């Protein structure tokens, strides 16, 4: 899928640090598009997408600026990552929240408690 598909209403290129610092103020129904590095870790740059919820597209990748991004994770999921970290006594520093978000994006699971 390309960023200019008719079902993509708008997008914002940003980084995971900014998203996690503003997560409580962001619309939980928007999606996060993230990409993997050559080392199979989650890159810091992300795209916040406002997409038609009825968009029928089986392509798991969003192509933007010559790179493929996975795009199926809702901001609501990253809000739950933050909530999980707070409820389980994990460090809620911004760096720790970004690490927890990256773990979730890669594994679709919460990071193990310390």
Token pair 């960023």 in the structure block, residue: 3
DSSP-based three-state secondary structure for 47: strand
Q: Per-domain residue ranges for the chain?
A: 8-107
* C-alpha–C-alpha distance, residues 97 and 18, integer Å: 11
CB contact at 8 A, 63 and 33: no
CA-nearest of 37, 114, 25, 41 to 78 is 25
Put simply, whether the predicted model's pTM sits higher than 0.85 gets the answer: yes
**What does each of the 114 residues of the chain score in pLDDT, given as a tens digit?**
888 888 889 999 999 999 999 999 887 789 999 999 999 999 999 999 998 877 777 678 889 999 999 988 999 999 999 999 888 876 679 999 999 999 999 999 998 876
Torsion of CA 60, 20, 22, 36, to 10 degrees: -30
Provide the pLDDT for residue 90: 67
Provide the pLDDT for residue 114: 63
């Amino acid at each position: 899928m390309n960023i200019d598909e008719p079902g993509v209403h708008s997008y914002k290129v940003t980084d995971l640090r900014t998203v996690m610092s503003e997560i409580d103020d962001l619309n939980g129904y928007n999606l996060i598009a993230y990409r993997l590095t050559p080392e199979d870790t989650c890159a810091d740059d992300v795209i916040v997408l406002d997409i038609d919820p009825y968009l029928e597209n089986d392509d798991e990748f969003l192509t933007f600026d010559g790179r493929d991004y996975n795009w199926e994770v809702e901001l609501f999921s990253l809000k739950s990552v933050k909530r999980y970290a707070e409820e389980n006594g994990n460090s809620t520093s911004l760096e720790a929240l970004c690490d927890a978000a990256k773990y979730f994006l890669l594994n679709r699971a919460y990071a193990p408690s310390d």
